[in-house]
Amino acid sequence: MRATAKANTNIALIKYWGKRDEQLFLPMNSNLSITLDQFSTTTTVHIHTDRKEDVFLLNGQQEGAEETRKISRFLDIIRKQTGGQWAATVDSINHVPTAAGFASSASGFAALAAAATKAVGLELSEPQLSVLARQGSGSACRSIYGGFVEWKKGERKDGLDSHAVPILEQNEWDLSILSVLVESKRKKVLSREGMKRTVETSPFYTGWLEAVEKDMQLAKEAIFQRDFERLGMVLESNAMKMHATTLGANPPFMYWQSATFDVMEQVQELRMQGIQAYFTIDAGPNVKVLCEPHNEEKVCQVLKSLPTVQDVFICHPGNGVSYL
């Protein structure tokens, strides 16, 4: 009883910011992402019916009790569905540079959901697999699919209608996504804490919820029409609005650093020179810059020339979860 699955990470174009249910990872708003082709997690799950304790290996090293508990809590969901008594050895290899500013939790829990269900013989549809992955890490539900993906927030309290759906395959529109590394230190306010504080205390949060639905519609229209300028304008605006909510939280906080502003200003300067490039920023200081493939080399060169930029990683749209 063993299976191996691979999942790619993703970046949000229209942000997921705030939960309506902390336990089930149900989002306050629907959101939209691109699955990437360069950064992934490969996970092998071995099922043991003669053991009671799970074991978690990450990049060949056995993880401690805290990290293993997170994996066990997720496997408990599958154990409940199968009704069986078993333990697992979870062996994960992250092909995600932790310094690149990409969260590996999305690819990690997507790969774990796929491998574990396959290993125990639990046949799930892709929407069901997305629902399962979401309960490990919200953004993991989007990594089940490739290309451009929408995570529908759903309305049900049990979360069964809160899952990802594909809206455009990875080979239908090629874009370049440049991950610009400006800082590799652990952020002071983790995403989960930042979301919770913002939802509970920021007076700007209601404005975010009103605006994000319109942003979703505009972004989807731009994707269907392959209109890069329209997509770039809305994703950049959406990121700025998300980060504005953190300034109104109590106490207020900010994920950006001075180097973040350097990259933002450089991207705006590129547009003044006639090169279409747009930035988006998740809950951290690093910046993702989108451009069209014919501008990729130029944009990368300019960003790498900034003294405060440590590195630039180039990605394109990637595929969904696969079994090895």
Boundaries of every domain in the chain: 2-172, 181-315
* Conformational region of residue 133, where left means phi above 0, alpha means psi within -120 to 50, and beta covers everything else: alpha
* pLDDT for residue 111: 98
From first to last of the 324 residues of the chain, give the pLDDT tens digit: 999 999 999 999 999 999 999 999 999 999 999 999 999 999 999 999 999 999 999 999 999 999 999 999 999 999 999 988 999 999 999 998 765 556 689 999 999 999 999 999 999 999 999 999 999 999 999 999 999 999 999 999 999 999 999 999 999 999 999 999 997 677 788 888 999 999 999 999 999 999 999 999 999 999 999 999 999 999 999 999 999 999 999 999 999 999 999 999 999 999 999 999 999 999 999 999 999 999 999 999 999 999 999 999 999 999 999 999
CA dist 295 to 175, 255, 286, 289, 312, Å? 10, 28, 21, 11, 15
Distance between alpha carbon 96 and the CA centroid of its chain, in Å?
12
* pLDDT for residue 102: 66
Strand locations in the chain (E): 2-14, 19-21, 26-27, 31-48, 55-58, 61-62, 87-95, 148-151, 164-168, 176-181, 277-280, 287-291, 311-315, 322-323
* pLDDT for residue 94: 94
Tokens of 3: 């299976």
Helical pair 191-201 and 228-247, crossing angle rounded to 10 deg: 70
Fold for domain 181-315? Alpha-Beta Plaits (3.30.70)
* pLDDT for residue 241: 97
d(CA 59, CA 47): 19
d(CA 287, CA 264): 8
Tokens 């890069």, residue located: 228
Beta-carbon contacts of residue 272 (< 8 Å; ≥ 6 apart)? none
- CATH number for the domain whose boundaries are 2-172: 3.30.230.10
Beta-carbon contacts of residue 309 (< 8 Å; ≥ 6 apart)? 180, 181, 182, 259, 262, 263, 303
